[in-house]
Amino acid sequence: MEIKCYEDKYLNSLNVLLEEAFHVSKQGNTSSCDIELIAVIEEEVVGHLLLRLCNDSIRNQKFYFVEYVCVKNAYKNQGIASKLFDYVFQLCKINHISYLELTSNPSRVAAHHLYHKLGFQIRETTVFRKEIL
Domains (range + CATH), the chain = 2-117 (3.40.630.30)
pLDDT for 28: 77
Mean pLDDT of the chain: 94
> Looking at residues 83-101, what average pLDDT do you find?
97
Identify which has the larger pLDDT, 105 or 46.
46
Query: How high is the pLDDT of residue 126?
Result: 86
Q: What is the pLDDT of residue 30?
A: 76
Closest listed residue to residue 32, CA positions, set 19, 51, 55, 46: 51
How many CB atoms are closer than 10 A to CB 34?
A: 15
User: What was the pLDDT predicted at 113?
Assistant: 95
Q: Does the pLDDT of residue 33 top 90, yes or no?
A: no
d(CA 42, CA 68): 22
pLDDT (mean) for 103-115: 93
